[in-house]
Structure 1
Amino acid sequence: METDFVDLTLENLADEHLCCIIRSKKPHPGVEAKRKWLADRLKEGHVFRKLNVKGCVFIEYAPLETAWVPVIGDNYVYIYCLCVSGSPKGNGYGRALMEHCLADAKEKGKSGVCMLGASKQKAWLSDQSFAKKFGFGVVDTTAHGYELLALSFDGTTPKFAPNVKKEEIENKELTIYYDMQCPYVYQRVEMVKQFCETNRVPVSFIQVDTLQKAKELPCVFNNWGVFYKGKFETVNLLDIPSLERILKK
């Protein structure tokens, strides 16, 4: 197993690939938006650790206090994403990355580590069954089946912010909350815009561009949240079939 891992820093951020979308020549707008987002987050203790290969093997986490998610708790770490895909799968990289995160949290005197899950595994969320092998358990839930998983080191637990349980907004048209933390977000926003323009579907896009906005969101969120007819639908990035299913409701 390769053990050459790289932590992104302000010094190497411009030169290292970001795992999910790898481009060697033509710049990708989603990747560049992610780099810009990361440049500010790294100053806040955000960690992006990856295997030093051209592949998708990485973990991304941050102090909960500065994590752009509507989760609250004292002295926790929040895992945004733990991903190993393609040919690297099955080589123990996921375990190595998770063990690094847990050791890092303990070394920094954190109270525990948490992440977003669901009663049934959702696309675009890290594998919660894998996390549970390390002792993560459910500490909070929502009406739509989303769960907050946590591994506590001292008996304390985080929770969803009270506003998360609303899962309802006044705007009845298709509404999408998003930030630029995921390099796929840019192209999904453009895809939904084009579809809605072509099909004359009213749509509102709300960019979550501050920590305060993220903490006050009316639903669970990693980097994306969808509402329709005032009701929360999903945190999954939309493709055309899933968008059409929502609009038929």
Structure 2
Amino acid sequence: MEIITVTKDNLEKEHICCAISNNNDCQVSAKKSWLAERFDDGLVFKKGDVRGKCFIEYIPAEKAWAPIIAEGYMYIDCFWVSGQFKGQGNSNLLLEECIRDSKEKGKKGLVVLSSKKKMPYLSDPKYLKYKGFELADKAEPFYELLYLPFEKGATRPCFKDNAKSPKIDEQGFVLYYAYQCPYTAKYVPLIEAVASEKGVPLKTVRFETTEQAQNAPAPFTSYGLFFNGEYVTNEILTEKKFEKIIEEKFQK
């Protein structure tokens, strides 16, 4: 498999792997717009020369849309190899390319958001720890910040205080999200429609700047749902899954 680096120059023609290929689809256009704005911050998007989910996306940690402190590190936004591309060494190939590139840029190491066990939309902790990543910090209810230092004695990254215990003051459902994940462009409006139909209070807040995301109340800034101040999930919800959560919360 050959690796393609997506840039401003080829962004429009390249398939970005994690959403459907039609550039007119709201998911694709939202993600590509988000990427285009991040390239000047040093974001790198590398993918296999295939049409599918086989890519790694990373950015200098100082510019990451994540509430972390990891000066001098490279932050992996998303690392996804799925389906027919698994079991062929493609994950290793992409990670090795990220390591090589990051070392060339003088970075201290890599840092990535994961969890105690494999969770939707988060990097697989079992694979990462097998590749040498270590635990840097924890945040409630299940988040782990993993890091791969390139040299002994490298500063240990950590979560910012605002994200260590995800809670907010507002009542009802509150959803924080970003177009870093293209699926939000499709699924956020769908659950907004469900909430409106059922008369359920739902406030949605889209992060539009790096600063906003770095001061988020939860570690995963692509999607974070709260209810009456308490953290509910990072999983990007379908209509049926949101309806189930509504039923559960209002039965209590």
Asked if TM exceeds 0.5, the reply is yes
TM-score normalised by structure 1 residue count: 0.95
Which amino acid in 2 is paired with 1:128? P
What's the secondary structure of 2:123's corresponding residue?
coil
Q: Determine if contact 1:75/1:110 at 8 Å carries over to the other structure.
A: yes
Q: 1:111, 1:152 within 8 Å by CA — same for their partners in 2?
A: yes
Deviation (angstroms), 1:245: 4.1
Contact 1:49 1:58 in 2 (8 A): yes
The question of 1:244 aligning with 2:246 is answered no
TM-score of the pair, normalised by structure 2: 0.93
CA distance in 2, matches of 1:181, 1:116: 14
* SS of match in other structure, 1:148: strand
Aligned pairs for 1:80-159 within 5 A: 80-154=77-151, 155=153, 156-159=155-158
Which AA in structure 2 matches 1:163? N
Distance in 2, matches of 1:44 and 1:193, equals 32
Q: How many angstroms apart in 1 are the aligned matches of 2:244 and 2:20?
A: 30
CA distance in 1 between partners of 2:174 and 2:65 (Å)? 19
Structure 2 Cα separation of the partners of residues 111 and 134 of structure 1: 17
Report the number of matched residues: 246
Contact 2:116 2:125 in 1 (8 A): no
Separation in 1, partners of 2:53, 2:221: 18
Structure 1 stretches lacking a partner, 5+ long:
none
Q: Give the conservation status (yes or no) of the 8 Å contact 1:175–1:204.
A: yes
State whether residues 220 and 235 of structure 1, in contact with CA within 8 Å, keep that contact through their aligned partners in structure 2: no
Runs of 4+ that moved beyond 3 A:
none
The reply to whether residue 19 of structure 1 matches residue 17 of structure 2 is yes
Q: Which amino acid aligns with 1:53?
A: V
Structure richer in helix, relative to its length: 2
Q: Say which is worse superposed, 59-68 or 130-139, in terms of deviation.
A: 130-139
Deviations 1:211-237 (A, max 9, x none): 111111111114111111111122211
Answer with 4-13 or 15-24: which moved more: 15-24
- Listed as ranges, the gaps of 5+ residues in structure 2 are none
Question: Match of 1:116, SS?
Answer: strand
The equivalent of 1:189 in structure 2 is 188
Q: Is 1:33 aligned to residue 33 of structure 2?
A: no
